[in-house]
Amino acid sequence: NGPVSRHDPRLLIRERQEAIHRIHAAADPRSRRVVERGIAQLGLRRFRDEHSREHFDLPRAPLPGGDAPTPVRLLPRFDNLVLSHDDRRRVLADEHRTVVIQGGEVRATILVDGFVAGLWSVEDGRVRVAPFAPLPRTALRDVEDEARRLEAFLRAAGKAP
C-alpha cells in the first residue's frame, strides 16, 4: 500500500473518527463544558450553517468551495446520511419521505447534488434506477455510470450473474 499522504482521504476519515471517539470517551453527556474542552483540545475548526447550527471539522481537512460539484451516489438501505439528520429536509424532501422511509424500512436511494433524488434496486443482477422526477442529462448520465460501476462491483463480488 505504501506511505499514506497527509491529504489521503482515508487518513482524514480515520482522523475524524478518532477525534469523535476521543470526544465521546471524554464527555459527560450532562456537561457541554467537557465537550467544549475536548473540541478545543483537538483544535477542531468550527462552522455555522445557514440555520446557525454549529459543525466541526479537522484543522487540516480540505474544504471544497460552495460551488464544488457533489458526486452522484447510490446509497444503500438504511444509509446513515438519510437516518442521522435531526432535520432530514437537508437531504430528503418532505414529499419523498414516505416513499423512502416506510414503516421503519429505509430504501436504497439515489443522491444527486446532495439530495435524495430517487430510488435504486438490484433485479436480476442489474441496478435499476427510479428517479422521482426527470433528471438533467448530465445528472442522469452520472447516475447511470454509478449504476454500471455498482453492477461491475456486484459481479466481481459474486453477487450478480
pLDDT digits (tens, 9 = 90+) for 135-156: 999 999 999 999 999 999 998 8
Render each residue's pLDDT in the chain as its tens digit; 161 residues.
Answer: 455 455 566 666 677 777 766 766 665 555 667 677 777 777 888 888 777 877 788 888 887 777 888 899 999 999 888 887 667 777 899 999 999 998 889 999 999 998 999 999 999 889 999 999 999 999 999 999 999 999 999 988 887 66
| 3-class state of residue 132 by DSSP | coil
Block residue for cell numbers 468551495 = 65
Q: Which three cell numbers stand for residue 82?
A: 438519510
For residue 83, give Cα distances in angstroms to 59, 106, 120, 130.
27, 8, 17, 20
- pLDDT of 1: 45
pTM tops 0.75: no
Can you tell me the distance from the alpha carbon of 77 to that of 106, in angstroms, rounded to the nearest whole number? 5
Q: Which three cell numbers stand for residue 90?
A: 437537508
